[in-house]
Amino acid sequence: MENDSTDNVIKILISLRHSLTAQDHQKPARTLKKTHVPSLDVLITQNFRETASPHISVTGRAIHFVYALTSHVAGPLGQTLLIIDLEGRFDATRLTCGEADLLRHIYVHRPARSCSPEMLREVVAEARKWMLYGKHGSTGREWWGTVVIGGSGGDVSCGWKGWLRVDRAVMDGFPVGASVEEALALRTRRQDMVDQTGWVVSSEYGSFVFRDKLLDEENHQEPEDTEAKDSDGDESEGQKPQGKGL
């Protein structure tokens, strides 16, 4: 009887282990997203090492970062991505990849603004499955990930709090003692200078400057040079999205 009892316990433990293993395989793997922008990938890797989280949370003038990232993913990287826009702020005319053949690989979903955190998590999870396994017009492209504007979740989120901050790059003011007439005369030229100054992406690990395109970045403060290391690979990585593009 004792041997039978021991055998039953062993069988229960084996069954439980198989059950837990199956559940683990159903969870999305925590992988680092590669942007192939060296200065940005270094910051993402540093944050992952410190927090064990691959999530990219952006604050400040984050929408400009979203435009640059979206244009970079759809253009040079030749991939596709989903944007969940809770604030209705995403404007496709601000993208630098304006060709229709590229824009159709950018998918935008605008749920209700009253979407609760629980509902948003469900939307992100369902959108991931929808992008990976459905029939779509981007079958020849790899899916990069999900960007959430105005909430938390996805691979990149933009909100009031984030470990990555975007600000307008600082430039000199009007000359000391300049008259109103001189300031007005310089206004147009100064606006052109502001437009060319770009944006500073900063974090506790370092920062860099970009203008319209992420690959135009200049190192503002050189982070530690390190190679991004992914966690366990996601079996679904590289599968294709579905849905309707812009």
Q: List 158's β-bridge partners, or say none.
A: 58, 149
71-103: per-residue pLDDT in tens? 999 999 999 999 999 999 999 999 998 788 889
Report which of residues 200 and 240 the model is more confident about: 200
DSSP state of 80: E
* pLDDT at res. 220: 45
Mean pLDDT of 187-207: 75
* pLDDT at res. 192: 56
Residues 244, 224: Cα–Cα separation, whole Å: 40
Q: What is the CATH number of the domain that holds 181?
A: 3.40.50
Torsions phi, psi for 211 (to 5 deg): -110, -115
Please tell me the pTM assigned to this model.
0.71
Assigned domain for 44 exists: yes
143: CB partners within 8 A, 6+ apart: 79, 80, 81, 82, 131, 132, 238, 239, 240, 241
159: CB partners within 8 A, 6+ apart: 57, 58, 59, 62, 150, 151, 152
Assigned domain for 169 exists: yes
pLDDT of residue 197 exceeding 60: yes
pLDDT of residue 153 exceeding 80: yes
Assigned domain for 156 exists: yes
Assigned domain for 21 exists: no
Q: What is the largest CA-CA distance in the chain?
A: 101
Residues 26, 33: Cα–Cα separation, whole Å: 20
% pLDDT > 90, the chain: 41
Q: How many domains does the chain have?
A: 1
Mean pLDDT of 196-200: 81
105-145: per-residue pLDDT in tens? 999 999 877 788 888 999 899 888 888 888 888 877 899 99
CA 67 to chain centre: 11
Assigned domain for 114 exists: yes
**Domain coverage including residue 72:** 34-221
46: CB partners within 8 A, 6+ apart: 203, 205, 206, 223, 224, 226
Classify residue 81 as exposed, middle or buried by CB count within 10 Å of its CB (0-12, 13-18, 19+).
buried
Assigned domain for 20 exists: no
pLDDT of residue 232 exceeding 90: no
Assigned domain for 194 exists: yes
Assigned domain for 67 exists: yes
Mean pLDDT of 200-204: 95
